[in-house]
Amino acid sequence: MAQNLRSNRQVSVCLPCRAVGSRPASAPALLFLSLLTSALPARADYAVNLQTPATGLANQVYDLHTLIVWICFVIFIIVLVPMGVALVRHRKSAGHEPAKFHHNTLVEWIWTIIPVLILVSMAWPATQLVVQMKDTSKEDLTIKITGRQWKWEYEYLGDGIRFISNSATSNEQIAGKQQKNEHYLLEVDKPLVVPTGRKVRIVLTAADVIHTWWVPALGVKQDAIPGFIRDAWFKVEQPGTYRGQCAELCGVGHAYMPVVVEAVPPQQFATWMQDQKTQLAAAEEASGKTYSLDELKARGEKVYAANCAACHQPTGMGISGAFPALSGSKIATGDKAGHMDIVLHGKPGTAMAAFGPQLSNLDLAAVITYERNSWNNKVGDAVQPSEIAARKK
């Protein structure tokens, strides 16, 4: 990823051509850039083109875009030149007398038909590429992606591996209390890992609202629609980390829903899979134990920050009229069972999601315990993972 980003951060990457220096740069883009750069400090972040492609598809999209921009640019010049000539030579102040002509059928036909031909020449490569993009058959592995407010869930179909990928950018960085690091807003706690050189088919859905899974370098952008299944595919050529974001407005956390894909060689991918299975077993075991209130509260605070604080706020006060306060709420200070139910099953018709399928029993127990014993809430009871397991049934 670092390599990938770096190439995008060079001033010299110019609009219509990727191979820097090998072809003449686009005049307006360069002119514009030189105007800008002369006025600003030399922090060079002026990426002006699509990100460096990492898949065959993205590469073809890149080239198609380059082609179209060039065609448009040439037409633009063809249009501007006579306009410029007229503006200079046919001015009244230059003593030009107006002509009287007001139509010319032949010319009008010509400039109707020629654009049609140009359009056909653009449509041809685009059509071929569309057909390729939509062909999700003959995949090597399938990953189910579920968009949730505001995180991605990945499930390797057939392997039983399932995890949630949360943004890893801290609130302190967002609030400007801490230096923002290099991958600000583009980093997650647990990336999606895929093998290189394999055709990965992704099937997408969403749990609450529409999200869009997007990784520019992979050339994939696909809406995840609640209740429906959509698919797309990619085949990463080079190992690396590729970063993207949710692209469809999905509520207050829309900007904080990054996608990170780590492409690794197939052998390494196999090892990673094995590791995941081992970890899964360990988590299962951890959920069987009993914990003290303090242990649960400490763990719950982290779970709360990652999953609940966006709406209910770190203070537990919510946002008046939109998201209810937990501090002092009847549910969070009332009966344990009621509290577990709303966290496990959510509240239909509101932004409150069902966390039952998203978090481990231990995390669920921890966050509920935290909510019952923080801010103004002093219930004093602890919820154990085993109680969650029982309640789920």
Partner 1 sequence: MQSPTQTHHTDVYYVPSSSIWPIVGSIALLTLAAGFVLYLGKVAAGPYVMGAGVAILATMLFGWFSTVIKESLAGKYSDQVDTSFRWGMAWFIFSEVAFFSGLFGALFYVRLITLPSLGHADLVWPNFEGVWPSAGPGLNKTITPVGAWGIPALNTLILLSSGATVTWAHWGLQKGRQAQLKLGLALTVLLGALFLGLQIHEYAEAAFSIRDGIFGALFYMLTGFHGFHVLLGTVMLTIILLRAMAGHFTPDRHFAFEAVAWYWHFVDVVWLLLFVFVYWI
Partner 2 sequence: MYTATATDTHGHDHEHAPTGIMRWIASTNHKDIGTLYLWFSLFMFFFAGTLAMMIRAELFQPGLQLFQPGFFNQLTTMHGLIMIFGAIMPALVGFANWQIPLMIGASDMAFPRMNNWSFWLLPAAGLLLISTFFVPGGSIGGGWTMYPPLFIQGGIGYDMAILSVHLMGISSIMGAINIITTVLNMRAPGMTLMKMPLFVWTWFITAFLLIAVMPVLACAITMLLTDRNFGTHFFDAAGGGDAVMYQHLFWFFGHPEVYIMILPAFGIISTIIPTFSRKPLFGYVSMVYAVASIAFLSFIVWAHHMFTTGMPVAGQLFFMYTTMLIAVPTGVKVFNWISTLWRGAITFETPMLFALAFVILFAIGGFSGLVLALVPVDIQLQDTYYVVAHFHYVLFSGSAMAIMGGVYYWLPKWTGHMYDERLGKIHFWLTAIAFNITFFPMHFLGLAGMPRRIPDYALQFADFNMIASIGGFLLGASQLLFLYTVVKCVRGGAPAPARPWDGADTLEWTLPSPAPYHSFVTPPLVK
Q: Tell me the torsion sign for CA atoms 305, 363, 248, 199.
A: positive
Q: Tell me the torsion sign for CA atoms 364, 365, 366, 367.
A: positive
> For residues 378 and 328, what is the distance between their CA atoms, to the nearest angstrom?
9
Segment interacting with partner 2 (CB under 8 A) among 88-96, 188-196, 281-289, 376-384? 88-96
Query: Which residues neighbour 180 within 8 Å (Cβ) at sequence distance 6 or greater?
Result: 173
**Residues between 192 and 211 with contacts to partner 1, criterion CB under 8 A:** 203, 205
**Residues between 134 and 193 with contacts to partner 1, criterion CB under 8 A:** 144
Cα torsion for 309, 370, 161, 278, to the nearest 10°? 140
Question: Residue 299, SS3?
Answer: helix
Q: Shortest approach of partner 2 to residue 179 CB, angstroms?
A: 11
> For residues 259 and 371, what is the distance between their CA atoms, to the nearest angstrom?
29
Among residues 12, 27, 90, 330, which is the contact residue for partner 2, using CB under 8 A? 90
Site string for partner 2, 186-215 (x = CB under 8 A): x---------------------xxx-x-x-
Q: Check binding of 306 to partner 2 (CB under 8 A).
A: no
Segment interacting with partner 2 (CB under 8 A) among 250-258, 265-273, 300-308, 382-390? 250-258
Greatest distance between any 2 Cα atoms in the chain: 95
The residue among 245, 244, 252, 203 whose CA lies nearest residue 225 is 203
Q: At residue 309, what is the residue type? A: A
Among residues 25, 188, 194, 232, which is the contact residue for partner 2, using CB under 8 A? 232
**Residues between 40 and 79 with contacts to partner 2, criterion CB under 8 A:** 40, 43, 45-51, 57-58, 60-61, 64-65, 68-69, 72, 75-76, 79
Among residues 229, 270, 283, 390, which is the contact residue for partner 1, using CB under 8 A? 229
Segment interacting with partner 2 (CB under 8 A) among 153-161, 227-235, 269-277, 293-301? 227-235
Residue ranges in contact with partner 1 by CB under 8 A: 144, 203, 205, 227-229
